[in-house]
């Protein structure tokens, strides 16, 4: 008799998840309660994470070509959604999902020019040593 877990999003929507899917999350695994609130993650995003877990719980062979194709489609989302998914997967500590999402970001980032990267990943004190640095490296 498998347990049912309840995941609550930041906008108060609840998702019921079967044990097999829920235990893909280390956070849930180490939680004492079956009701977990995921802060800062809205229903839309949490729903997608649950979808991923359900898909991966039901298929045993993760190297299956169909799963790979499904996964590839799953991560082909807008940047905004991608980052929110990363936040959620990271909080829930679903290693494989984090892995797939970060790989996707890595692939997207490879081709980007400096300016675009800066816009996407805002940090502090942007220093413009671009010209000198690139020249000194022979690019």
Partner 1 sequence: MRRNKCKKSSSSSSSSSSTISSVSYIPEEILIDILARLPAESLLRFRCVSQSWRGLIGSPSFVSKHLNRNVTKLSHTYLIALQRLRDKPALCHSLFSTETFEECLKLRHPLWTEEQFRIYGSSNGLVCISDQVLRPSSPICIWNPCIRKFRTLPQSIFKPHYSSYDISLSFGFHPELNDYRVVTMGWYVRSVIKVQVYSLSTGSWKMIEVIPPWLKFNPDWCQGCAFFNGVAYWLFTKSKKFRFVSFDTDSEEFEEIIVPDTISTKGFTYVGVYNGLVCLFYSYLEGPDCQKPQKYMDIWVLKEQSFTKLHTAVLLPGRDYLPLGFSIQNELIAKDKKHTKGDEGDTGQMVLYDLEMKLIKKTGISLAHDSHYKTSAGTYIESLVLLNR
Q: Give the shortest CB-13-to-partner 1 separation in angstroms.
A: 16
Interface positions with partner 1 (CB under 8 A) = 40, 78-80, 83-84, 86-87, 90-91, 93, 98, 102-103, 105-106, 109-110, 114, 117-127, 129-130, 133-134, 137-139
Closer residue to partner 1 (CB): 60 or 122: 122
Longest Cα–Cα distance of the chain, Å, equals: 65
Q: Residues near 123 by Cβ (< 8 Å), separated by ≥ 6?
A: none
Output the smallest distance, CB 15 to partner 1, in A: 19
Please answer whether residues 39 and 10 qualify as being in contact, where contact means their C-beta atoms are separated by less than 8 angstroms: yes
Nearer to partner 1, 60 or 76 (CB): 76
Tally of CA atoms within 13 A in the half-sphere of 139 that contains its CB:
6
């Amino acid at each position: 008799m498998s347990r049912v877990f309840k995941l609550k999003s930041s906008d108060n929507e609840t998702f019921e998840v079967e044990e097999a899917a829920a235990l893909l999350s280390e956070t849930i695994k180490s939680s004492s309660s079956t009701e977990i609130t995921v802060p800062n993650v809205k229903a839309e995003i949490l729903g997608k994470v649950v979808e991923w877990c359900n898909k991966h719980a039901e298929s045993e062979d993760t190297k299956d070509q169909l799963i790979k194709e499904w996964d590839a489609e799953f991560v082909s989302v807008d940047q905004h959604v991608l980052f929110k998914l990363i936040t959620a997967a990271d909080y829930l500590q679903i290693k494989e999902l984090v892995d797939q999402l970060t790989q996707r970001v890595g692939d997207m980032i490879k081709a980007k020019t400096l300016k675009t990267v800066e816009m996407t990943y805002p940090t502090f004190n942007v220093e413009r040593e671009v010209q000198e640095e690139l020249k000194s490296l022979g690019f």
